[in-house]
Chains A and B, each alone.
Chain A
Amino acid sequence: MPAEHRYLSARVARNEDARLLTGRALFVDDVQLPGMLHVAFVRSEHAHGRITNVDVSAAKRHTGVHAVYTAADLGSFQKPGPVLVTPPPIPNLIFNGCTQLPLAQDKVRHVGEAIAMVVADSRYVAEDAVREVVVDIDPIDAVVDLEKGLAAGAPLIHEHLESNVAAHVVQRKGNYVSARTKADTIVKRRFLYDRGVSAPIENRAVVVEWNDRSEEMTIWDTTQAPIPIRNGLARMLGLLESQVNVIAPFVGGGFGPKIMMFYPEELLLPWAAMRLKRPLKWTEDRQENFYATTQERGQVHDAEMALTRDGRILGVHDVFLFDTGAYDPYGLTIPINSQCTLLGPYDIANYESEFTAVFTNKTIVTPVRGAGRQHGVFVSERLLDLAARELGIDRVEIRKRNLIGPDKFPVNHEIMFQDSAPLIYDSGNYLPTLEQAADIIGYETFIRQEQPARRAEGRYLGVGVVCYVEGTGIGPYEGARVTIEPSGKVRCATGVGTQGQGHFTVFAQLVADALGVDVEGVKVVTGDTREFHWGTGTFASRGAVVAGSACHAAAMAVREKVLILAASLLSVTKEDLELSGGRVYVKSAPERGFSLGELSGKANPLRGAVRPGTEPGLESTAYFGPDRGSTASGVHAMVVEVDPETAMVEIKRYVVVHDCGTIINPMLVEGQIHGGVAHGIGNAFYEQLVYDEQGQLLNASFMDYLMPTATDVPPIETAHRETPSPYNPVGLKGVGEAGCIPTGALFAQAVEDALAGSGVEITEIPLSPNRLFEIIEAAKT
């Protein structure tokens, strides 16, 4: 790689901040169009039931209402949505794909399912009219508990199936049954791991403008995947892909659910806009977000680990249930992530993992930051902790004894990962990461001196250290187009969307280095299908890795064009030239050269021909598709103090040592880690979706769904290590989800350590003061 490295690994302030700080950045709800009408939805109040009647007559007569649509109005548009992720080719896999309809018909399967759509002059009027729609539903008992949902006689959510089984998958490596016979100790427990909503501060929104004269549609959508949305919608509406433009402008946080595609609202607004020939807007309110936007929920694991007496893992066997919600359009990404991430950085030769995905009468489950990795990490880290205690081996020591050595890469775990390729760890160096984390948190000193000293004072402090490996940066591919304009400024367009990750800066850094220009001079455009229309989207910690690599490749191709043209004009060879400071010049005679803007003018001649095999201008498009994902890893450590009377937990210190390969911008990486850890703290201690036995969500607001605030998240100490990925030229790995993956396991270990000797064993997440209190009390008896 010949280019400058001025910006690689530099703490560059962000290009996009000025617009965001001054309130000028455009979010979807900011879009105002002349003649725009507003949409509100009639949503099911029952979790399970048969729709016997929907009476919209009063709503239609309401002043200011332009239309009310039900399933009956949709005709052939009323089709189940696609299965977005085909399950990987695992032998004997069972998958029952049942996807959502745009508007519920015959049956409702979760509270909040859309039944009718009201279009009116304002959102206020639309909501008034929503109240006038009469919906009669004959309730059916709801399926809320996973085991009860599988029991004989449980109400059937999808009546063409024989049960509420959505999927059944077994993955095996080695031979656990035989390995078990050689074990000196077997640790077996039931683990419960729950999650919650992604809760970005911006709810979802869709604005659609159908231009009936040019027959073109423009959609502003808070989506993480504008290109697939464009392609799918065009197909469903009978339009050319090029007739539909999807723009994901600034998006106020994604975290996963904004990549769920073909939400009813995304389908119905375009459909209605073509009929009403008026621009339409729908903005979700926070309560709707709890029902109508996808979320992640719980798994129930019965797991065991077989070990030798010196703590070497012989094998793991895990059987679990996964709550997929009322429909399963996202396939099996989450539970397969759980299966794979359980292996961690450890050498586990024998592994059997079996899961059953269960339909429930709750909102659809799709990945939320971490996407099922949390559950796997919790199981293996807890089993190791419990084994350590049984064997009398230190917790950090037992981990060291099982780490995969640095000379073993690439490591092929044989089982399938979410990208339908075998789970292969490309690179990593786990022992130094673990040692560094233990060192920074002062593990040895803490357990030998500080902890006993505080205990003697009647204070309960504990330390936790947990490890994880995270698959990131998966394919299929992304693309980018880089253009040097006559002004000398550079434009870089790519298809992914941006929800705060800093793409406008990190991609600019890669391009600026390749072309020798200032990072502020590179304008990045993302999330607009008019600018770039090949690619998938932002998910699975892949933005920087895949789209970043494409930006790098496109910029390097432009660099090559610059060198070729300049060499020809200056009568030198490419090797004689340098790109720096926005110029290309002869190394030995710097005054001989051109500014890049000047050169771009020469590349676009007003006279003369452009020779065959060349293109005008200094522009290139490149694509990048890795063979497989690259694996990031890390260790989190924490010191907590627990008040045994109130069960309040105070985090004294939180340390993250992290390896995400080559770092483009350390400041942004730290930001991702901070945000992930905060989310993880929420998951571990504060956040939980509470449903009653009839599937009613009882805490659908921030009053009762507790989000961590500034006083709940401690300062986070971070250290970086780098084992570059061999799968892309810059050596990048993903980092978006890392912060929140091991947090639950870490809480459990640290709190248990603080209460050591009390008999408290933590096998569930979230804790919350209430739950922890109950656990503490139960251990006393």
Chain B
Amino acid sequence: MILSGTFTFEGPRSRVWEILQDPAVLAKALPGTKTLTKVGEDKYQGVMKVSVGPVNAAEFAMSVELKDKVEPEKFSLVIDGKGGVGFTKGTASIALEEQPGPVTVMTYTSDVQVGGKIAAVGQRLLESVGKMMTRQALDALNKELKSRL
């Protein structure tokens, strides 16, 4: 499943970069996140609860690693999630560009593979759920950003 797009944050790039590295902020913003803790340099672990179609409140143990960081321009992510109804593995790359305002335009591309029960019955919905979760997360992050300015 390929998810890509752009999003405009209403704030300077350095502040956007800050939030994106803060597990406490990410935990609140990402829909369904129960816990998210930093366990090492650029390594995070957490538990997420996701609903896709008939599969309700499926829990995934997630591990996320940040790579290729070029502060404050870009970084990439390696994602690994495992749960009772399936697994997910993927990568994402994030690029940030500051523009007059100041606003920050984020460009993201991700390629996520989903397997197990959740893929077998939720297939038609995976992409739309993925887009929706991404949208909700980015909106929540933007809100947090604005509150800090």
In the bound complex, CA of A700 to CA of B118 (Å):
10
Q: Which residue of the partner chain B has the closest CB to A130?
A: B84
A: number of interface residues (CB 8 Å):
18
Cβ-defined contact, A45 with B116, below 8 A: yes
Interface string of A507-545 (1 = CB under 8 A from B): 000000000000000000000000000000000000000
For A699, the closest partner residue in chain B by CB is B123
**What sequence of 0s and 1s flags, for each residue 33-61 of chain A, a beta carbon within 8 Å of any chain B beta carbon?**
00000000000011000000000000000
Chain A residues whose C-beta falls within 8 Å of the C-beta of B116 in the assembled complex: 45, 111, 696
Which residues, 124 to 140 on A, are CB-close (under 8 Å) to B?
131, 139
A697's partner among B84, B86, B120, B124 (CB-CB below 8 A) is B120
Closest-by-CB residue of A relative to B84 is A131
The minimal Cβ–Cβ distance linking A151 to chain B, given in whole angstroms, is: 22
- Select one of A111, A696, A697, A699 contacting B114, CB under 8 A: A696
Interface string of B111-139 (1 = CB under 8 A from A): 00111110111011000000000000000
The reply on B87 being an interface residue by CB < 8 A is: yes
Whose C-beta in chain B lies nearest to the C-beta of A133? B84
Q: Which of A45, A690, A701 lies in contact with B121, CB distance below 8 A? A: A701
Q: Report the Cα distance A45→B118, complex, angstroms.
A: 10
Give Cα A178 to B25, complex, Å. 77
Residues of B within 8 A of A111 (CB): 115-116
- CB of A405, distance to nearest CB on chain B (Å): 52
A106 to chain B, nearest CB (A): 20
- A17 adjacent to chain B (CB < 8 Å): no
B89 — nearest CB in chain A belongs to which residue? A139
Residues of B within 8 A of A703 (CB): 54, 121
Q: Tell me the complex Cα distance, A290–B117, Å.
A: 11
B84 to chain A, nearest CB (A): 4
A332 to B13, CA, bound (A): 63
Instruction: Write the chain B residue with the least CB distance to A45.
Output: B116
- Nearest-CB distance from A50 to chain B (Å)? 15
Q: How far is the CA of A496 from the CA of B79 in the complex (A)?
A: 53
Interface residues of A in 692-710 (CB under 8 A from B): 692, 694, 696-701, 703-704
A287 x B120 contact (CB < 8 A): yes
Shortest distance from the beta carbon of B3 to any chain A beta carbon, whole Å:
15
Contacts of B120 in A (CB 8 A): 287, 290, 696-701
Q: Is the CB of B115 within 8 A of A696?
A: yes
Q: Which of A694, A698, A700, A704 has the most CB of B within 10 A?
A: A698
The residues of A with any CB-CB pair to B shorter than 8 Å are 45-46, 111, 131, 139, 287, 290, 690, 692, 694, 696-701, 703-704
User: Can you sample 16 A-B contacts with CB below 8 Å?
Assistant: A45-B117, A111-B116, A139-B89, A287-B121, A290-B120, A690-B123, A696-B114, A696-B115, A696-B116, A696-B120, A697-B119, A699-B120, A699-B123, A700-B120, A704-B123, A704-B124
When A and B form their complex, which 8 residue pairs have the shortest distance between CB atoms, in order from nearest?
A131-B84, A700-B120, A45-B116, A698-B123, A696-B119, A696-B115, A45-B115, A701-B121
Q: A46-B115, A694-B115, A696-B115 are in contact. List 6 more A-B contacts (CB 8 A).
A: A287-B117, A694-B113, A696-B116, A697-B120, A698-B119, A698-B123
